[in-house]
């Protein structure tokens, strides 16, 4: 049986800089997987490759049996991969419900699971699931920063993904807000069965949340394992300290 997400020998360079250089890894279904690494280690590029934002120079990405690395972004969404962005991106002049409607209108096929049941009666329950109950009629730009970050996740989930990619979701959040975010991410995995891949700079945030962690440096995989294992890894510590 093929693994849920399988990445082989994935590489991408921009103008001679090897942002991602020969990444190999796999993610199991139903896990929350964290990708950590210092700034410029290629995390966000990797996420862009997985979501179809960029096309890889070489290597393959498979989601189940489906090959993703040749698809444009909107086809990747249909295949079951949704993403959020480092800087908040929403249709800011629209209401939250209107934003969610865009996600709902993606041509993703029914997944036949909890997500279809949740979205059957419109977007309200999804908004509540991420921690934004009753906010549907509000204009997004009027939401607080933390609420906007949650809203961005809800909009991505509205496309009914199998795999959700989050790019530094906790940016700009207070510790309390980050706690709410972590709960929301857990609910998305537990209640909707969506596999989550998080790119995060904030190691602390990831330690309590992720089942597996993959550490990157200079576009390569440095270490992989449970949070505790990775935290103790000598190479990871060195990379973070800049040694």
* Residues at the site binding other proteins, with contacts judged by CB under 8 A: 15, 51-53, 72-75, 77-78, 82-83, 85, 89-95, 97-98, 101-103, 105-108, 137, 139, 155-156, 159
Neighbours of 87 (CB within 10 A): 10
Residue among 31 and 95 whose Cβ is closer to other proteins: 95
Least spacing, CB of residue 48 vs other proteins, in Å? 10
Least spacing, CB of residue 101 vs other proteins, in Å? 5
Least spacing, CB of residue 89 vs other proteins, in Å? 5
Residue among 1 and 137 whose Cβ is closer to other proteins: 137
Residue among 75 and 204 whose Cβ is closer to other proteins: 75
Least spacing, CB of residue 180 vs other proteins, in Å? 23
Residue among 32 and 82 whose Cβ is closer to other proteins: 82
- Sequence-separated (6 or more) residues with CB below 8 Å from residue 1: none
Structure tokens at 27: 């993610």
Least spacing, CB of residue 240 vs other proteins, in Å? 27
Q: Which of 212, 92, 210, 90 is nearest to 158 (CA)?
A: 90
| Cα–Cα distance, 143 to 16 (Å, whole number) | 40
| Cα–Cα distance, 33 to 23 (Å, whole number) | 15
Residue among 82 and 132 whose Cβ is closer to other proteins: 82
- Sequence-separated (6 or more) residues with CB below 8 Å from residue 166: 83, 84, 153, 185, 196, 197, 198, 199, 200
């Amino acid at each position: 049986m093929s693994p849920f997400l399988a990445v082989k020998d994935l590489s991408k360079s921009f103008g001679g800089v090897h942002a991602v250089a020969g990444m190999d890894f796999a993610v199991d279904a139903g896990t929350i997987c964290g990708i950590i690494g210092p700034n410029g280690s290629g995390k966000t590029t990797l996420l862009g490759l997985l979501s179809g934002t960029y096309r890889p120079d070489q290597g393959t990405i498979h989601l189940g049996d489906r090959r993703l690395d040749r698809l444009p972004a909107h086809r990747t969404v249909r295949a079951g991969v949704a993403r959020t962005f480092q800087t908040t991106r929403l249709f800011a002049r629209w209401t939250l419900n209107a934003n969610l409607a865009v996600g709902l209108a993606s041509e993703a096929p029914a997944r036949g699971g909890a997500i279809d049941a949740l979205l059957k009666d419109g977007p309200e329950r999804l908004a509540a699931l991420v921690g934004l109950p009753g906010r549907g009629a509000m204009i997004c730009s009027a939401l607080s920063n933390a609420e906007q970050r949650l809203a961005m996740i809800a909009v991505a989930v509205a496309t009914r993904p199998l795999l959700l990619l989050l790019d530094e979701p906790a940016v700009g959040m207070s510790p309390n807000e980050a706690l709410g975010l972590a709960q929301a991410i857990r609910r998305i995995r537990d209640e909707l069965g969506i596999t989550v891949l998080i790119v995060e700079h904030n190691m602390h945030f990831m330690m309590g949340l992720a089942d597996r962690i993959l550490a990157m440096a200079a576009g390569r995989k440095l270490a992989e394992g449970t949070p505790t294992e990775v935290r103790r890894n000598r190479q990871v510590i060195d990379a973070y300290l800049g040694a």
